[in-house]
Every structure is written in C-alpha cells, then in structure tokens.
Amino acid sequence: MHIGIVGLGLIGGSLALDWRRAGHQVIGVSRQAQTVAQALEQGIIDAGSTDLALVSSCRVVVLCVPLHQMLAVAQAVCPHLHPDAILTDVGSVKAPFVQALTPLWPGFIGGHPMAGTAEQGIAAAQMGLFRQRPYVLTPTPQTRPDHLACLKELVAQLEAKVILCEAETHDRAVAWISHLPIWVSAALIGAYAQEPDPCVSQLAQQLASSGWRDTTRIGGGNPELGVGLAECNREYLLRGLRRYQTELHRLIQLIEAQDRPALTAYLQHTQQVRQQMTIPP
Ligand code: NAP
C-alpha cells in the first residue's frame, strides 16, 4: 500500500520506518527540504518532497505535524488526496481535530499513538517505537467500516494495541495521564530552578537520582508539544491543574499542621490507587 506521511519528525519518521519494514511504500512530505533529504538518505521513506501533491497516490495519509499546524496542513493536503483516501492524524488531542477535519474530509479518522520520547525531529525517529503501546482511533458514526478496518490493520503492523474511543473521552483521559503530568513536571523543574543558593542547587544535581529523573523527564521535553497541548486541550488541562492545585493546597496545610495521621492516610490512599491502576508496560 502507498502510505503518505506529512511531517517527518519523531512520530512521522517512526511510523515510516515501521510501515516501510512491513512492506509498504512510504511517501514522506515535510516542511524542510533537508529533512526530506535526511529521511531518504537514512532509508526512512521511499520517496519524498516538500510538495504535498506527492501524496496523491496514497491510500492512507497520516498527518504528523505539530498540533498548531494540523488544521492548516490538513486544509492544504485535502485537494491532493485520492477520492477514496483515508486521512488520519497522530495529534495528542483529538476532539478539536475530529470536529474540524471530518467535514473537510469525510474519510478522516482521528488517531493518537501513545508513544514518544523527549526528543524531536527526524533524527529521533526509531523503529519499534509503538510496539506494545496503545494506539487510539476515534471513529465517528459516519466512519466507513472498511476505512476503520484498514487503519486497524496498519496499527496492528506497528505491533501497537488499538483502542477505540470517542474523541472527547480521549481528551479527558489524556489530560490526566499525559498533559497534566507534563505541566506538573515542568512546574517542578521551574520551582527547583528558583533555588537561590548555587551551592544547594549544585549539590542537588550531584545527588539527583531516579526519582528526579522520572518526575522531570517529561517536563524537560519538546516545548512545542507541551504548548500545543495547553492550547488544544485547554479546558481539560485546566480542570486537572485546578484539581492538582487543590490537592497541593491540602498537603501544604497538613504538613504545616504536622498532621501525621492525615498525611499517612493520604499517602496510603495514593499508594492504593497507584497499585490498583493497571498501567501498560
Ligand atoms: P516533531 O518531532 O517536532 O516532528 C514534527 C515535524 O513536522 C517536524 O520535524 C517538521 O519537519 C514537520 N512540520 C512542521 N510543520 C510542517 C508543515 N507545515 N508541513 C509539513 N511538515 C511540517 O514532533 P512530534 O513529536 O513527531 O509530534 C508530531 C505530532 O505527533 C504532534 O501533533 C503531536 O501531538 C503528536 N504526538 C507526539 C508524541 C510525542 O511524544 N512526541 C506522541 C504522540 C503524538 P521539518 O523538519 O521539515 O520542519
């Protein structure tokens, strides 16, 4: 099958690598000629260009551009699509794009592979990135069953696990487990960065270990992605941040009051909630 990837970065490049390995012809379009050249040189794509017209032969076209570019790129690509083409995206927020793109292209199905790294750009693309990871698809009642079946098969070839859900439900769920943690982690780094004593800050760096590494990894990632999430999933991210603020406020009060039983009960509760969550590996 001819698959078009628009936006050759971490996610677009990684999809291209896996689908090419599965035997598909992968056509890549990106903004910069040097990115296309690099993708060709590294065998990530079969053919490439900065011209969106190149995807006109593709049965499936995947938009892998940053969130703030998604709508404009979708509008620009639609005139080039084969009439029977399936258009999908990998954006980390779904409802605004499903609402905007479905009227634009009836063969649009929202998608979100739940995998990534803190890196960005074509150099960060890697084979097997989506293996054993959830890959969300958000079909609507208007979605053609054969289109959905085709996308599910392509996702299966990534060895990812397909999860079907409504776009809005997706956005509410990822606000908790992905978008809120990014901003909480960023705030943690921001708070540390305000330590006024350079000796303390330097010693903290020397002593930092897995706890700091785990809790700050996502706050130190791609700024374009985090800002895109704050813009596109604003309502649910704000809900999460406000709830988090309330919890922090409560914890400050308990620690100030040296309320050992309440603090213990709090951590016992969070320990239990965490243990009961079945988090994919
Ligand atoms: P990325 O590494 O920065 O890649 C995006 C690529 O899009 C850039 O390399 C850029 O290529 C290209 N691009 C930008 N504007 C373009 C345009 N107007 N036309 C064509 N290409 C354009 O970002 P990413 O992490 O892959 O994220 C891409 C999408 O995946 C986002 O929508 C994000 O929400 C979603 N996503 C990200 C993750 C993650 O963890 N990173 C996980 C799941 C989903 P040039 O080099 O040519 O400028």
Reported as a single tens digit per residue, the pLDDT across 41-62 is 999 999 999 999 999 999 999 9
Rounded to the nearest whole angstrom, what is the distance from the C-alpha of residue 264 to the centroid of ligand 1? 43
> Cβ(239) to ligand 1 under 6 A?
no
Q: Please tell me whether residues 18 and 148 are part of one structural domain.
A: yes
Helix axes 180-192, 223-232, angle to 10 degrees: 130
Q: Please tell me whether residues 153 and 134 are part of one structural domain.
A: yes
Range with the poorest average pLDDT among 36-40, 117-121, 129-133: 117-121
Q: Is the pLDDT of residue 281 over 90?
A: no
Structure tokens at 83: 């009439």
Q: What pLDDT is stored for residue 279 in this prediction?
A: 84
The answer to whether position 152 is within a domain reads yes
> Cβ(217) to ligand 1 under 6 A?
no
Q: Please tell me whether residues 117 and 214 are part of one structural domain.
A: no
The answer to whether the beta carbons of residues 155 and 90 sit under 8 Å apart is no
Q: Please tell me whether residues 11 and 138 are part of one structural domain.
A: yes
Structural domain boundaries enclosing 264: 169-276
DSSP alpha helix (H) spans, the chain = 10-21, 33-41, 67-77, 95-104, 145-157, 167-174, 180-192, 198-207, 210-216, 223-232, 234-256, 260-276
Listed residues 113, 140, 165: the one ending a domain = 165
Q: Please tell me whether residues 43 and 159 are part of one structural domain.
A: yes
pLDDT tens string 148-197: 999 999 999 999 999 999 999 999 999 999 999 999 999 999 999 999 99
The answer to whether the beta carbons of residues 92 and 229 sit under 8 Å apart is yes
Query: If you take atom 27 of ligand 1, which residue's CA is the nearest one?
Result: 66
Rounded to the nearest whole angstrom, what is the distance from the C-alpha of residue 1 to the centroid of ligand 1? 23
Q: What is the CATH number of the domain that holds 104?
A: 3.40.50.720
The answer to whether position 281 is within a domain reads no
The answer to whether position 133 is within a domain reads yes
Q: What is the mean pLDDT of the chain?
A: 97
> Cβ(28) to ligand 1 under 6 A?
no
Instruction: Map residue 46 onto helix, strand or coil.
Output: coil
> Cβ(225) to ligand 1 under 6 A?
yes
Q: Please tell me whether residues 40 and 142 are part of one structural domain.
A: yes
Q: What is the CATH number of the domain that holds 220?
A: 1.10.3660.10
Report how many domains make up the chain: 2
Considering the chain, what percentage of its residues have pLDDT values greater than 70? 100
Q: What pLDDT is stored for residue 67 in this prediction?
A: 95
d(CA 7, CA 29): 6
Q: What is the DSSP letter of 218?
A: G
The answer to whether the beta carbons of residues 240 and 187 sit under 8 Å apart is no
Rounded to the nearest whole angstrom, what is the distance from the C-alpha of residue 21 to the centroid of ligand 1? 21
The answer to whether position 56 is within a domain reads yes
Listed residues 116, 133, 165: the one ending a domain = 165
Q: Please tell me whether residues 31 and 110 are part of one structural domain.
A: yes
Residue identified by tokens 């760096």 is: 205
Rounded to the nearest whole angstrom, what is the distance from the C-alpha of residue 66 to the centroid of ligand 1? 4
Listed residues 144, 165, 186: the one ending a domain = 165
Q: Please tell me whether residues 53 and 154 are part of one structural domain.
A: yes
Tell me the average pLDDT across 25-29: 98
> Cβ(6) to ligand 1 under 6 A?
yes
Q: Please tell me whether residues 77 and 35 are part of one structural domain.
A: yes
Query: If you take atom 42 of ligand 1, which residue's CA is the nearest one?
Result: 116
The answer to whether position 114 is within a domain reads yes
Rounded to the nearest whole angstrom, what is the distance from the C-alpha of residue 22 to the centroid of ligand 1? 22
> Cβ(232) to ligand 1 under 6 A?
no
Q: Please tell me whether residues 111 and 182 are part of one structural domain.
A: no
Task: Using CB atoms within 10 Å of the CB of residue 175, give its burial: 0 to 12 exposed, 13 to 18 middle, 19+ buried.
Answer: buried
Q: Please tell me whether residues 74 and 204 are part of one structural domain.
A: no
Q: Please tell me whether residues 128 and 156 are part of one structural domain.
A: yes
Task: DSSP for 122-162, please give it.
Answer: GGG--TTTTTT-EEEEE--TTS-HHHHHHHHHHHHHTTPEE
Selection from 81, 115, 98 nearest residue 13 by Cα: 115
